[in-house]
């Protein structure tokens, strides 16, 4: 099933010709309408799209970073007058000012197309009743999926996040067939669903379109098992317009990039040089059709690789491997790179422990020290010292083999770690703080 079959199954030569034409236009557009890019392009000596002869010439264009966008807060990256902007979104920054995204009417229309494609790839149809349990507001996730699903023709329930009992009640009473949520909130809902004890036949749920934070295969398997649904992943960020940049098809062997709207590249995060096809590195994306806030070579800080082999689903757009981690989420402990997803993959496959964990990093006697707090599924285990000790040792040993690092494992009572309704915050880095 496709949403825009002609576009999603173009021949590679056609995709590349379209991308080249749009890239050249984008260079002219940015040069003429965004002072920030005018200056940057002058510095690179590329003052006209005619200078771009092939797609690989994209490597001569300037990068854009999150800081560039923040430094031009709120509207200095706009390429159109404010009266042409139809909507403003923003992502909550953990520090300082939010990252703003502005959309023209045309941008909103194309965004909905992109999201509808991703939704169809994940199995959604016009017959679905889909509950959006993302928090509404400035966040791009909720309204992005909302309008994309409406465009597809599905029935949309703007539930927003929170109030678990009501979420589950709507699942049952409204005959909800699809859920949109973050993986951590979906997992939370799936646990609550089991606890409430209604028979599965009371629920018509069949698909989950989960996104906005990373989800390991193990965590996904857990959600699918608890809820008995098919879960697909999609990819996007405020800087690139929100969700819909890429999404899985029903075969789930990578996320198809919307290549008619975006030009992805993989670079070496340290040298900035292009990586060979198939090699892992930092994902860099140029928007090809955005009018309100076009972005040249945005450094996503996400580590992945691109696969240009045709997919058995019929889509020809390049597939991005699930993001392996972020260049800045990566913890460096005693010189070893640690991604939270590695820890998650160890825990989710184990008995007696849930998928909820917290990482605490301290500096003790000038040495980094990683504590992994893991939630038990059953509190009664806390009374059995020997079993507890065995479990602790087994987690420790598995972590050591995956991370190559000594950790301190602490088992904590069920439901004692914080649950997240938005992005999960699992790392507590105390290395620069004095502990009392």
Stretch of residues binding Zn ion (CB under 5 A), selected from 182-190, 243-251, 301-309, 378-386? 243-251
Residue 252 Cβ vs Zn ion, minimum distance, rounded to whole Å: 8
Compute the distance between CA of residue 47 and CA of residue 424 in angstroms, rounded to an integer. 43
Task: Find the helix or strand (DSSP H, E) in which 119 lies.
Answer: helix 105-121
Beta-carbon-side half-sphere exposure of residue 178 (alpha carbons within 13 Å): 26
Residues 6+ apart with CB under 8 A from 203: 171, 172, 176, 193, 227
Stretch of residues binding Zn ion (CB under 5 A), selected from 17-25, 200-208, 248-256, 335-343? 248-256
Stretch of residues binding Zn ion (CB under 5 A), selected from 91-99, 179-187, 241-249, 329-337? 241-249
CB 238 within 8 A of CB 217: no
Stretch of residues binding Zn ion (CB under 5 A), selected from 183-191, 231-239, 242-250, 366-374? 242-250
114-173 binders of Zn ion (CB under 5 A): none
Residue 250 Cβ vs Zn ion, minimum distance, rounded to whole Å: 7
CB 108 within 8 A of CB 87: yes
Nearer to Zn ion, 255 or 293 (CB): 255
Residues 6+ apart with CB under 8 A from 427: 329, 331, 340, 358, 359, 361
Size of the site for Zn ion (CB under 5 A): 4
Nearer to Zn ion, 315 or 356 (CB): 315
Nearer to Zn ion, 293 or 306 (CB): 306
Nearer to Zn ion, 301 or 315 (CB): 315
Residue 257 Cβ vs Zn ion, minimum distance, rounded to whole Å: 11
Nearer to Zn ion, 119 or 348 (CB): 119
Residues 6+ apart with CB under 8 A from 81: none
Does the protein bind Zn ion through residue 210 (CB under 5 A)?
A: no
Nearer to Zn ion, 217 or 414 (CB): 217
Residue 21 Cβ vs Zn ion, minimum distance, rounded to whole Å: 25
Nearer to Zn ion, 249 or 347 (CB): 249
Residue 320 Cβ vs Zn ion, minimum distance, rounded to whole Å: 12
Does the protein bind Zn ion through residue 249 (CB under 5 A)?
A: yes
CB 149 within 8 A of CB 156: yes
- How much of the chain is helix, strand and coil, in % rounded to 5? 35, 25, 40
Nearer to Zn ion, 100 or 249 (CB): 249
12-51 binders of Zn ion (CB under 5 A): none
Nearer to Zn ion, 283 or 313 (CB): 313
What is the DSSP secondary-structure string of 129-165? EEEE-S--SS-HHHHHHHHHHHHHT-EEE---S--HH
Location of structure tokens 């079993």: 387
Residue 260 Cβ vs Zn ion, minimum distance, rounded to whole Å: 16
287-346 binders of Zn ion (CB under 5 A): 311, 313, 315
Compute the distance between CA of residue 120 and CA of residue 142 in angstroms, rounded to an integer. 17
| 163: alpha, beta or left? (left if phi > 0; alpha if psi -120 to 50) | left
Residue 313 Cβ vs Zn ion, minimum distance, rounded to whole Å: 3
Residue 214 Cβ vs Zn ion, minimum distance, rounded to whole Å: 20
- Residue 121 backbone dihedrals phi, psi, to 5 degrees: -55, -35
Compute the distance between CA of residue 12 and CA of residue 288 in angstroms, rounded to an integer. 16
Contacts to Zn ion by CB under 5 A: 249, 311, 313, 315
């Amino acid at each position: 099933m496709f949403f825009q079959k002609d576009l999603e199954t173009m021949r590679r030569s056609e995709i590349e010709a379209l991308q080249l034409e749009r890239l050249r236009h984008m260079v002219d557009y940015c040069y003429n309408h965004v002072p920030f890019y005018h200056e940057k392009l002058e510095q690179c000596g590329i003052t006209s799209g005619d200078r771009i002869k092939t797609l690989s010439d994209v490597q001569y264009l300037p990068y854009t970073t999150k800081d560039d966008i923040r430094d031009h807060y709120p509207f200095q990256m706009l390429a159109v007058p404010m009266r042409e902007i139809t909507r403003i979104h923003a992502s909550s920054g953990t520090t300082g000012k939010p990252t703003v995204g502005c959309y023209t009417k045309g941008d909103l229309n194309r965004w909905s197309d992109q999201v509808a494609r991703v939704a169809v790839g994940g199995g959604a149809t016009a017959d679905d009743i889909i509950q959006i349990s993302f928090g509404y507001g400035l966040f791009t996730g909720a309204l992005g999926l909302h309008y994309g699903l409406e465009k597809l023709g599905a029935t949309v329930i703007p539930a927003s996040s929170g109030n678990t009992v009501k979420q589950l009640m709507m699942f049952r009473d409204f005959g909800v067939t699809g859920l949109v949520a973050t993986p951590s909130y979906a997992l939370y809902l799936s646990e609550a669903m089991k606890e409430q004890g209604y028979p599965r036949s009371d629920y018509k749920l069949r698909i989950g379109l989960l996104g906005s934070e990373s989800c390991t295969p193990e965590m996904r398997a857990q959600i699918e098992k608890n809820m008995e649904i098919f879960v697909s992943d999609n990819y996007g960020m405020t800087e690139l317009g929100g969700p819909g940049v890429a999404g899985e098809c029903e075969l789930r062997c990578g996320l198809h990039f919307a290549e008619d709207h975006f030009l992805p590249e993989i670079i070496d995060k340290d040298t900035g040089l292009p990586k060979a096809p198939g090699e892992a590195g930092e994902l860099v994306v140029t928007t090809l059709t955005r009018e309100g806030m076009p972005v040249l070579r945005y450094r996503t800080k996400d580590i992945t690789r691109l696969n240009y082999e045709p997919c058995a689903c019929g889509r020809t757009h390049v597939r991005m491997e699930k993001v392996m981690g972020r260049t800045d989420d990566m913890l460096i402990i005693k010189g070893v790179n640690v991604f939270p997803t590695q820890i998650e993959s160890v825990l989710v496959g184990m008995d007696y422990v849930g998928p909820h964990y917290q990482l605490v990093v301290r500096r003790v006697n000038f040495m980094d020290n990683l504590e992994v707090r893991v939630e038990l599924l059953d509190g009664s285990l806390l009374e059995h010292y020997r079993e507890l000790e065995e479990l602790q040792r087994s987690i420790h040993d598995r972590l050591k083999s995956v991370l190559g690092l000594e950790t301190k494992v602490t088992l904590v009572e069920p439901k004692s770690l914080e649950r997240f309704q938005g992005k999960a915050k699992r790392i507590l880095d105390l290395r620069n703080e004095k502990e009392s």
